[in-house]
Amino acid sequence: MSVKHTQDHVFQTYMRQGRPFIKGEGTRLTDDQGKAFTDFLAGIAVCNLGHCHPAVTRAISDQAKTLVHVSNLFYTNPQADLAKALTEKSFADRVFFANSGAEANEAAIKLARRYFQRKGEKSRYRIITMTQSFHGRTMATLTATGQDKIKDGFYPLLEGFSHVPFNDIEALRSAVDDTVCAVMMEPVQGEGGVIPAAPDYLAQVRQLCDDTGTLLIFDEIQTGMGRCGTLFAHQAYDVAPDIMTLAKALANGIPIGAMLATQDAASGFDYGSHATTFGGTPLATAAALEVLSIISAPEFLDNVVKTGDYFRTQLRSLKEKYPKVKEIRGKGLLIGMELNTNSGLSAGDFVGECFKKGFIINGIQDKVLRFAPPLIIEKQEIDNLVAVLDSLLSGEDH
């Protein structure tokens, strides 16, 4: 009855497919009729260690037996330990914990504005983001998002946001003036079509922000936690932001968000300036500690790079065979396959056909297949999916 109850009683904001899933293990999901699926989406880049990872499950279970929630009016050990671990593995000095990516980005937006407000520079409130970006569904974060379809029906939006094309340093340079407090971007645009930053772009943005005294915010909600082959995607570019946001894979499925900042940027907040009831609970931070410990291991990240390279190589073989495939791009295990618009096939067609054959993938921007599997995906599983894509592109099964 789960399908009917969902259709009758849950807001219809999602186009759900298939039967209810009742079990997950590693890269596999099983529905209530016993059908197994290989997951190449990982809960939208969330379950980076796969489903029900034994060590994470154990950390959650152990913590649930002792302390789940007390609020941020008190100290808790898992939160303190996680904050210390995150700062030791990043550019940051301080961490604010939230419940989701949108909340982490809200915190970053508020921090950037208040940083200059506290310095007496009240005219510096504008934030520049990129076209095709995605930063969340709250009023501030959807305003920051550079996609009109996300904003439809929610006008008027908040003041103080503007967008420039991604990977265009001259457009950004022209947009930055003395009213801008921050530049906010994803090192790899996920929802925008899996578009990585050009090799020199982030360094150019960093220099521009330094020259103008502007804060640089990296939204690593989808790209962080090993997804792109380094713990945080910006590390591959040898560029550090002033503020970074995390969520999704941080606790492998337990809701948590985090905003990290340098000590200087963090000075924009003081007692009472920002808060959350559930952010950084002992349960969520205990899970995240275990996840961070596993994913940050050099050998784990090396394997993500190797597996991602293998996956892209296999997909490029399809591009060489079929003119219907326009481009293969991405970093690590965040990969996009763009279809030619004149191919007669939409991303949705592939998603549906792959689902029928037991593979979970995702379509974005109507023409891009997004692959974000658990980082423990095996080469044989990749080969199995590529074989299905091959048959669909050939027209044999479509």
Q: Which long-range contacts (CB under 8 A, 24 or more apart) does 166-170 make?
A: 166/130, 166/131, 166/132, 166/133, 166/192, 166/195, 166/197, 167/195, 167/197, 167/198, 167/201, 169/201, 169/204, 169/205, 169/208
Tokens of 243: 């503020």
Number of C-beta neighbours around residue 161 at 10 A: 21
* Residue 180 buriedness (CB in 10 A; 0-12 / 13-18 / 19+): buried
Domains, the chain, ordered by start: 2-52+298-394 (3.90.1150.10), 67-295 (3.40.640.10)
Which pLDDT score, from 0 to 100, does residue 191 have?
A: 95
d(CA 257, CA 141): 14
* Cα 75 → chain centroid: 29
Contacts of 356 (CB under 8 A, 6+ apart): none
Per-residue pLDDT of the chain (398 residues; tens, 9 = 90+): 689 999 999 999 998 999 999 999 999 999 999 999 999 999 999 999 999 999 999 999 999 999 999 999 999 999 999 999 999 999 999 999 999 999 999 999 999 999 999 999 999 999 999 999 999 999 999 999 999 999 999 999 999 999 999 999 999 999 999 999 999 999 999 999 999 999 999 999 999 999 999 999 999 999 999 999 999 999 999 999 999 999 999 999 999 999 999 999 999 999 999 999 999 999 999 999 999 999 999 999 999 999 999 999 999 999 999 999 999 999 999 999 999 988 777 899 999 999 999 999 999 988 999 999 999 999 999 999 999 999 999 985 54
Q: What is the pLDDT of residues 126-181, one digit of tens each?
A: 999 999 999 999 999 999 999 999 999 999 999 999 999 999 999 999 999 999 99
Angle subtended at Cα 274 by Cα 268 and Cα 275, rounded to the nearest 5 degrees? 150
Question: pTM above the 0.95 mark?
Answer: yes
Tokens of 72: 């941020």
CA distances (Å), origin 65, targets 32, 70, 81, 248, 302: 29, 14, 19, 24, 35
Per the rule left: phi > 0, alpha: psi between -120 and 50, beta: everything else, 395 is: left
Q: What is the pLDDT of residues 13-50, one digit of tens each?
A: 998 999 999 999 999 999 999 999 999 999 999 999 99
Q: Is the dihedral of CA 185, 201, 369, 332 positive or negative?
A: negative
d(CA 241, CA 244): 7
